[in-house]
Structure 1
Amino acid sequence: MPSRILLTFLPLACCLGLFFSSHSVQAENWPDWRGPNNAGISHEENLPTKWSRDENVAWKVDLPGAAGSTPVVWDDHIFLTSVDGDDLVLICLDTSGKELWKRSVGSGNRVVRGDEGNSASPSPVTDGKNVWCFFTTGDLACFDFAGKEIWKTNIQDRFGKFNIQFGLTSTPVLYDGKLYLQLIHSGGAKVIALNAETGAEVWQIKRESDATDECEHSYASPMVYDDGKLRFLLTHGADYSIAYDLENGKELWRVGGLHPPAGYDKTLRFVASPLAAPGLIVVPSAKRGILVAVKPESHGNITDKAENYFWKYETTPDVPSPLAVGDYVYLCRENGNLICLERETGKQLYEERTHRDRHRASPVFGDGKIYLSSRDGQVTVVKPGPKFEILAENKLDEEISASPAISGGRIYLRTFKALWAIGPK
């Protein structure tokens, strides 16, 4: 049984989400930064729509430092990475907000671009038995739920020094007993698979690209696609999205042509991660680039092969990753504009303004609502569908760059100061 909930089990997950929607019974787990299906979707009901600093808050726990990493939740355990002075730490809380343990994994925090991020930007991942955490220093560790270290290594020591302007912020993806990392930077781009239980290398491959300058740098995270028939690893950066065989790292297909047609932009580095939804791969680019909807069953270099695309769209979210709900694909631009496209055709149904501030977090969906988190701490709640409607605007007045996590009828918001549990006590 794979160590993360599979896309092929979405109907079953929906049923379980309905049955276990009560926090007092059992929560739907949120095992990685984009949730149980790695696509930003929760199947729980009765999620909060409105809150403030003193309304509809189950609890708030102050954190030792800032980070942009999303917490992960499994049953009554919450895990999140943080800085603590110069230390890089993994923190475990229970769902009452009590700290169970904190472990130092490395040191040497680096703050980038003033307020844009630090060495605790990658999110942890869990399978319900162990939890894995990665930092931009290359420190990678595995702990059990009691806080016992299972293994620890440094990826730079093993696979080469990172040469990337703002730090390697990519979150590893866990699947079927393996931990996959994309190391896309100027120092020699690689994709690696590790045995999740031991940290031993399963395979590594050189990631070929003709990207130059800052375009060699990627801040996106890999994804696993699994619709029950096709299964592959999707990596994103250095001008291409590339799919690899999960077992041996063989390249299956790649898509390029993501730069503006007017010329090569040497600073177009990818930040938003692709969306791997059943039957659909949504590939963003950056800045003034495009977005493409790719057929998962593609083969070879499909950059100029129109038959391998469902559609193309003229613009892209620069940082937040795409979201697909039902018949629609949603793109949250950095300025807070929300774009709704028809999933089947890519036709734009609307582009509407939400809160005008930087949006770094990726949108999530749950209980018939889309949640958009802005940098200044406001979460705008939007009704999905072909017509734009804001349901609520909620302010915490604390900076947020982490994507929300949903579990047990609560929304967990990690700000630069604290972890907030929004919902019933």
Structure 2
Amino acid sequence: MSRRYLLTTLLAIAAAAPAAAENWPQWRGPKNDGHSTEKGLPATWGPNNNVVWKAKLPGPGASTPCIWGDRIFITAEEGADLVVVCIGTDGAEKWKRKLGSGSMKARGDEGNAASASCSTDGKLVYAFMGDGHLGCFDFNGNVVWTLDAQATYGKFTIQFGGHWTPVLYKDRLYLCLMHRKTQMIVALDKATGAEVWKADRKSDGKGEALDVYASPFIWENEAGTKALLIYHGNDYCTAHDLENGAEVWRVAELNPKAKYNMAWRAVSSPLVTPNLIVVPSCKNGVTVAIDPNKAKGTILPGNPAELWRLEKGTPDVPSPLLVDGVVYIERETSTIAAYDAKNGKPLYSETVTSERHRANPVYADGKIFLVGREGTMPVVKAGTTFELLAKNKLPDIFSSSPAVSGGRIYFRGWNYLWAIGTK
């Protein structure tokens, strides 16, 4: 009887114990595609509803929370300093370290030099500031190494500041520096910050095209046997060999030569998945979907690797999202549109707020979470038809994307970090 009672008790404890929290180790989540496998997330919240806690931040920033275990990492502007902050999942600050200085206001009210997001491998955390300082810290806030990218690779000359989030993959950190004086990809040893290689990223772009605000991604095939660095901007989306930076393929005619736009500049980053890459442009221009497994050389319209091309309606700031065969494009002008991932056929287009949208859409628990700059947060049911589940509001300013971990949705505002969940 005692053994039976013990077994029953153990089973009851196991059933009651929460599943291990999924980490959000980089800008767009566990697979850098805006997806989380977390369940039980609320669809509704407000200042007095489903707010587990809010933590006052040292200053504004647009970096998305990076989460591992019980630690959340963000960057922020604090007076004249640019700082890396570690906050516990209980809302208490664990440590704060200065990494850079000076503020680059991006278009006045939309961002600053604390816009790039942190990345972590569970042991070390990496942060990049708009003044060019790149730092590696352990989880207790000790400095492992730092690099001044402007001193090493040349002064930044870019209209709205450097906002590139480096991408972490295996034993390397990849940084793309794309502005009017430099078009460069750099691979660093993640343990030491030492340069492994650097490569020029060639383009014939003109005017504002040289100012790039998008961030790099790693593409892996489904088997995990092949990987490339994907970078978007300056009129092209290119793929590069991870061992030396050599170009493997490029998507062209994003800024069509026949009607060239001198004010073209890449802000939205591509969606990168094993079998589909969706490349945005800007200024209500084209969106191109390709099969990365077929990609090689220069990919022009009609190339076998090009699956479909939308002539207008590109996302200008938020990045595309793919869920169950549907590509979602959230425009900065508050509209979300859905397309068939196989052929680009339009499924719907709906206006969800009256606000500017700077954050990327995030999918979890059957829901797509959207964020308006002035705090309106629609929740849309994933599917081929539009269904608005809720429209929520928080009193803050939001430029960063949501992060999901431990049964909570984290929204980083300019004033507070908000933890949303069922208490």
The two structures have a TM-score, normalised by structure 1, of 0.93
What secondary structure is seen at the aligned counterpart in 2 of 1:37?
A: coil
Matched letter for residue 305 of structure 2: N
Aligned to 1:234: 230
In structure 2, the partner of 1:397 is 395
Which runs of structure 2 are paired with 1:3-14 in the superposition (5 Å)?
none
Per-residue Cα deviation, 1:74-94 (whole angstroms, up to 9, x for no partner): 011100000100100000011
Instruction: Give the 4+ runs in structure 1 shifted more than 4 A.
Output: 20-25
Matches within 5 A, 1:209-358: 209-227=203-221, 228-259=224-255, 263-297=259-293, 298-315=295-312, 316-358=314-356
Which of 84, 87, 111 is the matching residue for 2:81?
87
The 3 A distance-change label for structure 1 pair 36 and 184 is same
Kindly provide the CA deviation profile for residues 259-295 of structure 1, in whole angstroms up to 9, marking residues without a partner as x.
Answer: 2576111111000000111201100000121000012
Deviation, 1:391, is: 0.1
Residue 365 (str. 1) matches residue 359 (str. 2): no
Alignment of 1:114-153 (within 5 A): 114-153=108-147
Task: Provide, for residues 46-67 of structure 1, a one-character-per-residue CA deviation record: whole Å limited to 9, x for no partner.
Answer: 0111000111000000111111
Letter matched to residue 359 of structure 1: H
Corresponding residue SS for 1:306: coil
CA contact (8 A) 1:23 1:409 kept: no
1:160-179 equivalences in 2 (<5 Å): 160-179=154-173
Q: How does 1:374-385 map to 2 (within 5 A)?
A: 374-385=372-383
Amino acid at match of 2:401: S
Distance 1:21 1:256, change over 3 A: farther
Offset of 1:398 from its aligned partner? Answer: 1.1
Cα displacement string for residues 13-58 of structure 1 (whole angstroms, at most 9, x for unaligned residues):
xxxxxxx999944210000110000000000100111000111000
* CA apart distance, 1:424: 3.0
Q: Which residue of 2 aligns with 1:6?
A: none
The structure 1 residue matched to 2:413, chosen from 412, 415, 418, is 415
The alignment of Structure 1 onto Structure 2 pairs a total of residues equal to 406
Letter in 2 for 1:254: R
Please give the alpha-carbon distance, in whole angstroms, between the structure 1 residues aligned to 2:300 and 2:139. 44
- Displacement of 1:314 after TM fit? 2.0
* Amino acid corresponding to residue 329 of structure 2 in structure 1: L
Distance 1:87 1:22, change over 3 A: farther
- Partner Cα distance (2:16, 2:297) in 1: 46
Distance 1:293 1:421 in 2: 35
Partner AA of 2:29 in structure 1: G
Q: Is the 8 A contact 2:284 2:315 kept in 1?
A: no
Deviations 1:119-175 (A, max 9, x none): 001011111000000011000000000111000110111111111100110100000
Matching residue's letter, 1:247 = E
Distance 1:134 1:275 in 2: 22
Distance 1:107 1:21 in 2: 49
Cα separation, 2, equivalents of 1:86 and 1:64: 11
Which 5+ residue runs of structure 1 have no aligned equivalent?
1-19
Cα deviation for residue 364 of structure 1 reads 0.3
CA distance in 2, matches of 1:160, 1:283: 28
Of 90-99 and 223-232, more deviation after overlay is shown by: 223-232
CA contact (8 A) 1:412 1:420 kept: yes
Is the contact between residue 327 and residue 343 of structure 1 (CA under 8 Å) also seen in structure 2?
yes
Counterpart of 1:40, as a letter, is G
- Asked whether the equivalents of residues 21 and 44 of structure 1 are also in contact (C-alpha less than 8 Å), the reply is no
8 Å CA contact 1:21–1:45 kept in 2: the answer is no
TM superposition shift of 1:204:
0.4
Equivalent of 1:66, from 43, 60, 67?
60
| CA deviation map 1:302-331 (0-9, x unaligned) | 124521201111220000000000110000
More divergent stretch after superposition (116-125 vs 254-263): 254-263
Q: Structure 2: state its 5+ residue gaps.
A: 1-13
**Cα contact 1:125–1:173 (8 A) shared by 2:** yes
Q: Distance in 1 between matches of 2:251 and 2:19?
A: 44
How far is the alpha carbon of 1:230 from its aligned partner?
2.8
Number of the residue aligned with 1:198: 192
Output the CA distance in 2 between the equivalents of 1:63 and 1:74.
19
Change in CA separation of 1:335 and 1:22 when aligned onto 2, cut-off 3 Å? farther
Instruction: State the identity %.
Output: 50
Q: For the Cα contact (< 8 Å) 2:104–2:160, is it kept in 1?
A: no
Confirm or deny: 8 A CA contact 1:179 1:194 kept in the other structure. Answer: yes
Q: Distance in 2 between matches of 1:23 and 1:324?
A: 31
Q: Does the 8 A contact of 2:41 with 2:422 survive in 1?
A: no
Aligned counterpart, 1:9: none
2:38 corresponds, among 32, 36, 44, to 44
- Which secondary structure state, in structure 1, belongs to the residue aligned with residue 152 of structure 2? helix
Helix, strand or coil: the match of 2:370? strand
Whether contact under 8 Å (2:338, 2:346) holds in the other structure is: yes
Label 1:26 to 1:206 Cα distance change in 2 as closer, same or farther (>3 A): same
